[in-house]
Every structure is written in C-alpha cells, then in structure tokens.
Copies of this chain bind each other. A is one copy, B any other.
Amino acid sequence: MNTRLIDVALGRQPADAVIKGGILINVHSAQIYHTDIAIADGRIASIGPLPESVYGQATTIIDAAGMYLAPGFIDAHIHIESSMLTYTEFAKMVVRHGTTAVASDLMEVTIVSGVEGMKEVLRESETTPVRLYYPVPAFMEESHLQTTGSTLYPEMMEELIQLPQAVGLAEVLGMPLLAGSPASAAILALARAQHKTVEGHAPALRAEQINAFAGAGINSEHESTTKEEALMKVRVGMRVLMREGSASTDLLECLRAITEEGADARRCSMVSDDIDALHIKQCGHLDHKVRLAIRAGIDPITAIRMVSLHPAENFFIDHECGSIAPGRVADVVFLSSLEDCRVERVMVAGEMVVEQGCLIKQIQAPEYSGLLMNTIHLKRKATPEDMVITLTDQKRSARVHVIGASSVSLLTEALEADLPVRGGVVEPDVANDVLRIACVERYGKHGGIGRSFVKGFGLREGAIAISVGHDHHNITVVGSDPADMAIAVNRIDELQGGFVLVNQGEVLYELALPICGLLSPDDGEAVADRLSEFIQKLETLGCRMPSPNVTLSFITLIFIPKLAISDLGLFDVTQFKLIAPVISST
C-alpha cells in the first residue's frame, strides 16, 4: 500500500503530475469523458474530479486538450524474438505505437541459451520503457524429435513460475494434455497453486476438444483461425487471444465471432504472437490491431479494451495495469484520433517517453554475454550432398510428402507429389513450386539433417536459409540447387546466425542475427529496411510471400499441423511422429 497515492487522491499532498483536459477512455465503465488525472510515484493517484490541492509548485501540468487517453497497450502473447530485434530495440520501436507491456515467454532465447540466457533478457527489459511479463514456457524435452541448445525440465518449472515477472504458464500443448499426460497435469497444478494463468496451445480444435481443453483447466488460447473456433472458446469461458502476426493474420476472421455471432468480447484480446521489425515499421503494433478491429466494426472502447484491460485480466494483473485507474502504473497513451488510434505521446510509469510519435528518451542496449553470443556451431561444413534425398540408383520416380506452406497461416498442409529421381537423387519440381527443404542441426551436437520437400515459396532459383526455426532453431534452408543451399547454410555459420539468400553460388543478401542466432544488434528501422530489401530480392526470384522469413521459421514447429521439419527429419504433427519423406518409389 502506497500511502502517497491515498494522500494525493484526498488532496493532502500535491501530485507529481496532472494530465489536464484530456478525454479519458475509461475501460472499466466503458465510457469516454473529460477528466483530469493525478499521478504520484509513477502511478495513477486519481482520475478526478481532483481536489484543488493536488496542484503544487512542483507539479508538472501536462496539457492533453483534444487528446484521448488510453491505458498503455499490452500484448498478451508475443514472441519478441520474432521481431529479430534485441529486447531493447524492440521496446524502443513498439513504445512509439503505445505498447507499454508485453507478455513474452522468451522461449526462443531459452531454447538456444538456457534459463540463464533468458534471465539476461529479463534484466535487460528493466531498463526499457516496455514492461516484460513472463509466462513460463511449458515446452519440455523432445530430444527424440528435435535438437535444441537447451531445454526445460519439469523440476525447473517451480522456480520459474515464482519469478517476480512470471504471470503463468505459456503454451501448454493440447495433444499431451488431452491424452491425460501426468507431466501436463503436474505443471497445471503448479500454476494453479501459484494463482497464475495457464495458456494453452492447440490449433485447429473441434468443439469437443475445446470443451476438453477448458475442462482440463486451460484459461487462454491464441491459435484460433476460424470464427467458429473463437466463438466456441468464448463460450467455454476461455480467454481468446486473437492473433494478427506477420505470417498469421487471423484477427479479422476471429473478430467475426463478435461482429457476426454476437459473442461478448470481454475475454478477448488482440495479440501478435510473431511479428517482425518490418511488420512493426509498416503497420505498427497493437495500434494497428485496434485500427483493424474498429474498421471491422468493433466499437472503439472495446477495441482499446482488447489491448489493455483484457490482457491485464488475462494475467490477473489488472490491479497493476490495463486501465487508467487509481493504483495502476501510470502508463498512458495519448491519441489524437481514436478511430485511427493515432499515437502522439506515451507516458510510461509517469514519465513521458514518446512525444509527437518519437522516442524522447535515450535507451541503450546492454552488452550481451557469451551465453547469448556465438551460439552457432555446425558439426562440419554443409555440402550439396547433405541437401538431397537419395534412393537407390534403380529408382526413376518417387512419391513424396510435401509441406504445404501458407503465407497467411502458420498451419501447413500435408501435400504429396510425384517427383523424378535422377542418379539416385529425388529432384524437385520447380515448375510446380515443389522445392527441397533441409534442416541442419546447429548446436554442434551430432550434425543431423532433416530433409523433405516444400511448396509455397515459389522460388524459381536460388536458396534461402535461416537460423530461426521454432522451437529448436536449427538452420532451415529451402531451394532447388543443393550447392546454393549448402553455401547459404555455411554462410549462416560464419555470421553466427541470420538469414541468407544465395543464387548461382553467390550470396545475394544476408542479415546477421548474431545474438542467439535469432536477433540483430541493429535498431528496428534498420532491420525493417533490411527485411524489406530481402523480400524484394526474393520477389525477383519468384517468392511472393509477405513474410517468407516468418513462414520459413515456423515450418520447423512440430506442434502446428500438419507437417513440419526438424533436424531429425520430416514430422507428422497429427500422428505426432517422425515420418519418412518418401512414401514410395518405382
């Protein structure tokens, strides 16, 4: 209890600052009205009417005439690593869009650099204007299916869920849970005992599975891709995190559960899951989602609630943030237009950090330790032979599995194709966009390589490789020419992470991601521009995906149906097992 807040509210002491003349978006009462706001010790002391005595000699008066005042925006589900920015650069970029808190499980950093690496990022976050809440990733050892740098074990969860930043469990997997896995039950019990939330991960659920998921104790879910899924999740009492990411644009579809089906939005939030720096530069962050929602027919107060009060309620932290109300941290977004969610100024914990849309505070990224740097260790240089699938010399044709990649969804299709075999090597079918894909182990453990075929990238020539690949972050490469593919992989090794485009033996483009092999040290604008260049270059080679890097980095995720690839091979998500890439051959 901060007695200063009481004293300022009662007019016994002057406030540190008063925001005067603004139009409050009150997310509790769902009203918009003029009122002044008193701030003390970085928190809201009073939302008015204010006693005259809050104005002292040292009180800063902030003129908010004509401005709408929204609570700082909160992203309830984002993997900040997908921005390819350090936490510091990410924060600097999104705070200009009104974001003052995110919930991020830092799973990618943890997979590569372990819990100590993760804690380094937690500490880094404290020097930025974007508060980091930590839902503990529920991923568990799957070393028979994929190779990682580090993993979490059940016995580590108890410490992690008690970290001060910990707000629950993230992404508890649907399949083992519905199979009654004792490990899943144990971590759920742990979260419940700590009064923290449990987020599930279960894409493409049918109604009965959604019921089962809710009955098991899952509180929230972010994988809805249809309005029917979103509606059913609302009905069973889940918190529905509606996603608008770089490569999974599910928001408008999910919002139809509200606008068309009439479902109440009170347990719905808008989240990013995975967005890269280019997406942030071009579209924004949660402000973008608010604009989309309003244009889709969502009432503006509801849209603001879906990025403030609702995410705060999702994590049981609405006494701390998510509204402009007494006791909450003074995170305030000043909007010159509500309909367009135009962010002019942003106050974080009582301090103005954004003015006229620009960051006015100096924020420096720390030096990163050896835990986060130098994390790529190929067992040996990749060769063209590593990239291909071979059969016996006699074979002339093969029927193969093909991962069907989508540019708008993380779900993949399970396709098949008949491919020619020449000299024992199964060849791609470039004319029909069936390309080679390989995933190369990068932790120096055993040098395994998974191989298959992929459709959707449209590359007529060349190869792209990337060291971001959920949830193991081995190096994935797509192309037709095995030589180009090998060069791209080896170049990533030299860069200590990144993504690389190679054509006819030449590196056409590269972006280094030397922090964990996931993040660039550069600022958001620079990374966005480099990404844009990458996409343009790829376009000249035939790839028309809006976020090919994000799409590629999710093809490796063995928890999203239907097909995925790891360094240990092609993975059938529905059967949840590794499968041979070749179905039959003649």
- Which residues of A come within 8 Å of B, CB atoms? 1-3, 5-7, 9-11, 26, 28-31, 43-51, 177-178, 180, 184-185, 188-189, 194-195, 207-209, 211-212, 214-217, 219, 231, 234-237, 261-264, 266-267, 316, 318-319, 323, 325-328
The residue that A219 contacts in the complex, of B44, B189, B194, B319, with Cβ under 8 A, is B319
| Bound Cα distance A266, B313 (Å) | 12
| Bound Cα distance A48, B215 (Å) | 13
22 contacts between A and B (CB under 8 A): A1-B185, A1-B217, A3-B185, A5-B215, A5-B216, A6-B178, A6-B215, A9-B209, A28-B235, A28-B264, A29-B262, A31-B261, A31-B263, A46-B211, A46-B212, A47-B235, A47-B236, A51-B208, A195-B316, A236-B326, A237-B325, A316-B316
| Bound Cα distance A327, B210 (Å) | 12
Minimum Cβ distance to chain B for residue A175 (Å): 12
Instruction: Report which residue of A189, A208, A209, A325 has the largest number of chain B beta carbons within 10 angstroms of its beta carbon.
Output: A208
Task: Tell me if A237 and B318 are in contact (CB < 8 A).
Answer: yes
Task: Tell me if B212 and A5 are in contact (CB < 8 A).
Answer: yes
**A327 / chain B contacts, CB cutoff of 8 Å:** 214-217
Minimum Cβ distance to chain B for residue A220 (Å): 12
Task: Tell me if B9 and A208 are in contact (CB < 8 A).
Answer: yes
Minimum Cβ distance to chain B for residue A482 (Å): 45
Indicate how many identical chains form the complex. 2
Task: Tell me if A208 and B11 are in contact (CB < 8 A).
Answer: yes
**A323 / chain B contacts, CB cutoff of 8 Å:** 237
Task: Tell me if A215 and B178 are in contact (CB < 8 A).
Answer: no
The residue that A1 contacts in the complex, of B3, B184, B263, B325, with Cβ under 8 A, is B184
Task: Tell me if A215 and B28 are in contact (CB < 8 A).
Answer: no
Known: A46-B212, A215-B327, A235-B325. 19 other contacts (CB 8 A): A1-B185, A1-B188, A1-B216, A1-B217, A5-B212, A6-B215, A9-B215, A11-B208, A29-B264, A31-B235, A31-B264, A50-B208, A212-B326, A215-B326, A219-B319, A236-B325, A237-B323, A266-B266, A316-B316
| Bound Cα distance A262, B50 (Å) | 22
A215-B2, A217-B319 known; A231 vs B49 contact (CB < 8 Å): no
| Bound Cα distance A68, B185 (Å) | 34
| Bound Cα distance A546, B12 (Å) | 42
Minimum Cβ distance to chain B for residue A232 (Å): 9
**A219 / chain B contacts, CB cutoff of 8 Å:** 319
| Bound Cα distance A261, B47 (Å) | 17
**A3 / chain B contacts, CB cutoff of 8 Å:** 180, 185, 216
| Bound Cα distance A573, B144 (Å) | 71
**A214 / chain B contacts, CB cutoff of 8 Å:** 325-327
Minimum Cβ distance to chain B for residue A461 (Å): 48
| Bound Cα distance A318, B328 (Å) | 23
Minimum Cβ distance to chain B for residue A18 (Å): 13
A215-B327, A217-B319, A319-B217 known; A46 vs B234 contact (CB < 8 Å): no
Residue of B nearest to A262 (CB): B31
Minimum Cβ distance to chain B for residue A309 (Å): 9
A216-B1, A217-B319 known; A28 vs B267 contact (CB < 8 Å): yes
The residue that A208 contacts in the complex, of B10, B29, B189, with Cβ under 8 A, is B10
| Bound Cα distance A211, B50 (Å) | 9
| Bound Cα distance A208, B9 (Å) | 6
**A263 / chain B contacts, CB cutoff of 8 Å:** 29-31
